[in-house]
Structure formats: structure tokens, C-alpha cells
């Protein structure tokens, strides 16, 4: 990819390329925008060797994902910017010793940025990795509770999705009650399963799918859920379709077959393109923009000491995550007011906060 034209277009403030031969670390760090505050974003470890150009693929990811974090933090109402780190490695092939070496070195690099970038868990990384980073820097979130962190973010993410889904139900179905509503949950990972549990406890009729048969069987037993295949679930007749697995599920093929009133789930990058969000709007399907709806984990770690300056408080975090409901309501209001799709409205909401802060900073 032509990097300079991309950077000029999307406004990244910093892109760093790091290599450490001793540990084997190969790393990209991108800081997109710090108008609202320091850049927060996870560290992804991924094997790009199958790509035609591994370095280019990793660079493309870190630039795209860091910009996404800027919008996510702004739309969540946080005074944080967007950043991301990508480590080029196969996490499954690393020895424990080599992994420790890599993340300690990564921690040193993060520390050298003096708080401009704060890291966290992402695909291919885990709490143990965050603990190693913490040995070298305080600019890390998602560390265990016994170390002053917030631990597993999944329950808070699921809670935020549930609150945002409630806002959509009130708008599209004119009820604040989940009782009797058919909700199709695609993907029963940590967040998806917890979301299904909340929906069941509030009377929803569940339809579920997952590539792991043991998870769907468990959901059928615990929640009296109907099991369908991953290929069929997005076309089931229901009030709410909740994608909680792969991205790109809203595309040219699926758009013609959706049989729901609302799409609201935890998965990232659900729209293949923004145009698909526009088409949902035209079809009368209310879409909850994923980066607004699934911000619970981000809101949760924003309460950790490395960001807030105060000891982590679970009750305060829950109160903050519950405001996902208000953010979705605001997206719906902007969508109506400007006669645009909710995905465009979410971008407007995020961009307005950044632009207002930019103007204040100039004064």
C-alpha cells in the first residue's frame, strides 16, 4: 500500500515500526488521533505469513484498527484517542519463554511513548501477556483484579450490548420488555454466551448458533434455545438478530435475506461496507452500529487506574457501561434528524466530539 497518501487522508499522528532481534519482536504501533486524550487500543498478535506481503497486511490492519478506536472512544463519550499495536507472530507456535521476552520488550516500547499510547488485550493476546507488559510499563489496561485492574471485560461488554439492544427494541418495537421477543444470537463465545444468558433471564426466546456444538447444546439446556446452523441463523425469522462472531455478516448476499426488525450484536466490523448500513436503513431494519454497541469493554478499562488515575471501582464501571443505552438513543436521534443511516449517524456523533475538542484546543 502507498502509506503516505493513506496517512494524509486518514490523519494518523504516529506510525512506528519496531524490530528487536534478541526477542524476535516485529511490531507496528499506530496512533490515529489524540485530540480527546491519549490513544487507547489493544495489541493484536497475528500470523501474516500466509499473506502475499505480511508487513503490508499488518500495516494495513494497524492503520485501519487505530482509526476505528478513535471513533469508538469518541462515540462512547470518552476523553481518549485511538491507537493499535500489531505484533507479527503466530501466538500458538511461541514457547512460553519467547512469548515472555516479546511482551516484556513490547512493554518497554510502549513505555518509551510516555503515555501517548495505552495498550490492552486483543486477538491473539491475553491477560498473562498484559501482566508481562505491566512489569515494564503502567500504560496497559486489562490486567487482573488482584493487580488493580478490571479483569475479564466480557461481562461488561455483554451488559453494554444488552443495554443498547434495549434502546433499539424501544425504538423499533415500541416496548421496553424483552419478554417473548425472538433473538437470534450468532456466536456463543465469552460475550455472546453472557448476552444470551441476560436475554434468557429477561424472557427472550433464543435462537443460537456456534461452530462449537458443545456451546449450542449448553445454551439449549440452560436457556431452552433453538439451535440452528451458523449458515442459517442470520436468515431466521426473529425480532432481533445479534451477530456476536465474525465480521462482514451484513453484505450483498445476506441483505436480501434478513428476516428481522433489529440488528444489534457484539461482533466487530459487521458491515462489509458503509453502503450496506445505508441499505439496511432503506429496508427499515434498525442497525445498532457495532463500535457504539460493543464499547462496554472499552468503557470498563477506562475506569482502571492507568487511565482514570483512581482505583478501579466495579460499580462505577457498570454505571458507565449502562450509558451505551444513551449513546444508541443519540445515534437514533441523529439518524432521524439528518435522514441518514445509523452507521453514518454514529460517525457524525464521533466526529462532532472530536471537532468540538479540536476547536477548544485551538483557543
Q: What is the pLDDT of residues 297-341, one digit of tens each?
A: 999 999 998 898 888 999 999 999 999 999 999 999 999 999 999
Q: Are 18 and 25 in contact (CB under 8 A)?
A: yes
pTM of the model: 0.90
Q: What confidence tens digit (pLDDT) does each residue in 230-258 have?
A: 999 999 999 999 999 988 999 999 999 99
pLDDT at 193: 97
pLDDT at 5: 78
Q: What confidence tens digit (pLDDT) does each residue in 36-57 have?
A: 999 999 999 999 888 878 888 8
% of the chain surpassing 90 pLDDT: 82
Average pLDDT estimate for 155-176: 97
Average pLDDT estimate for 276-303: 96
Sheet holding 182-186, edge to edge: 226-227, 205-209, 182-186, 240-243, 262-263, 286-287
CA 85 to chain centre: 15
pLDDT at 1: 57
% of the chain surpassing 70 pLDDT: 99
Backbone angles phi, psi at 241, to 5 degrees: -105, 125
Residue 166 clears pLDDT 80, i.e. is over it: yes
Q: What confidence tens digit (pLDDT) does each residue in 104-147 have?
A: 999 999 999 999 999 999 888 988 999 999 999 999 998 888 88
Catalytic residue ranges: 84
* CA dist., res. 253 & res. 340, Å (int): 23
Mean pLDDT over the full length of the chain: 94
Residue 212: Cβ within 10 Å count? 11
Domains of the chain: 3-68+81-140 (3.40.50.10860), 154-295+325-351 (3.40.50.720)
3-state secondary structure (DSSP) of residue 201? helix
pLDDT at 16: 94
| Among candidate residues 73, 70, 64, 62, the one with its CA nearest the CA of residue 29 | 62
Residue 170 clears pLDDT 60, i.e. is over it: yes
Amino acid at each position: 500500500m502507498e502509506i503516505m497518501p493513506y496517512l494524509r487522508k486518514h490523519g494518523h499522528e504516529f506510525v512506528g515500526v519496531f524490530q528487536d532481534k534478541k526477542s524476535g519482536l516485529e511490531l507496528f504501533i499506530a496512533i490515529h488521533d489524540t485530540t480527546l486524550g491519549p490513544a487507547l487500543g489493544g495489541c493484536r498478535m497475528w500470523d501474516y505469513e500466509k499473506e502475499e506481503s505480511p508487513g503490508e497486511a499488518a500495516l494495513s490492519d494497524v492503520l485501519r484498527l487505530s482509526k476505528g478506536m478513535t471513533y469508538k472512544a469518541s462515540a462512547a463519550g470518552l476523553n481518549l484517542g485511538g491507537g493499535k499495536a500489531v505484533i507479527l507472530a503466530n501466538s500458538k507456535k511461541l514457547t512460553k519463554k519467547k512469548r515472555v521476552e516479546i511482551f516484556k520488550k513490547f512493554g518497554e516500547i510502549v513505555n518509551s511513548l510516555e503515555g501517548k499510547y495505552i495498550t490492552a488485550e486483543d486477538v491473539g493476546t491475553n491477560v498473562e501477556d498484559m501482566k508481562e507488559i505491566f512489569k515494564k510499563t503502567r500504560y496497559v489496561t486489562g490486567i487482573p483484579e488482584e493487580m488493580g485492574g478490571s479483569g475479564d471485560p466480557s461481562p461488561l461488554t455483554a451488559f453494554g450490548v444488552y443495554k443498547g439492544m434495549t434502546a433499539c427494541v424501544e425504538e423499533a418495537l415500541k416496548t421496553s420488555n424483552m419478554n417473548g421477543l425472538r433473538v437470534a444470537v450468532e456466536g456463543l463465545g465469552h460475550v455472546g454466551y453472557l448476552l444470551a444468558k441476560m436475554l434468557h433471564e429477561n424472557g427472550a426466546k433464543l435462537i443460537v448458533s456456534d461452530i462449537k456444538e458443545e456451546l449450542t447444546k449448553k445454551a439449549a439446556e440452560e436457556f431452552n434455545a433453538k439451535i440452528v446452523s451458523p449458515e442459517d441463523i442470520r436468515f431466521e425469522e426473529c425480532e432481533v438478530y445479534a451477530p456476536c462472531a465474525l465480521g462482514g455478516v451484513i453484505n450483498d448476499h445476506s441483505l436480501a435475506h434478513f428476516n428481522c426488525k433489529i440488528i444489534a450484536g457484539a461482533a466487530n466490523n459487521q458491515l462489509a461496507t458503509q453502503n450496506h448500513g445505508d441499505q439496511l436503513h432503506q429496508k427499515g431494519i434498525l442497525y445498532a452500529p457495532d463500535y457504539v454497541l460493543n464499547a462496554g469493554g472499552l468503557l470498563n478499562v477506562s475506569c482502571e487506574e492507568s487511565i482514570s488515575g483512581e482505583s478501579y471501582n466495579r460499580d462505577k464501571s457498570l454505571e458507565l457501561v449502562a450509558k451505551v443505552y444513551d449513546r444508541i438513543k443519540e445515534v437514533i436521534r441523529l439518524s432521524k434528524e439528518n435522514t441518514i443511516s445509523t452507521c453514518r449517524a454514529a460517525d457524525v456523533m464521533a466526529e462532532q466530539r472530536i471537532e468540538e475538542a479540536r476547536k477548544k484546543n485551538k483557543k
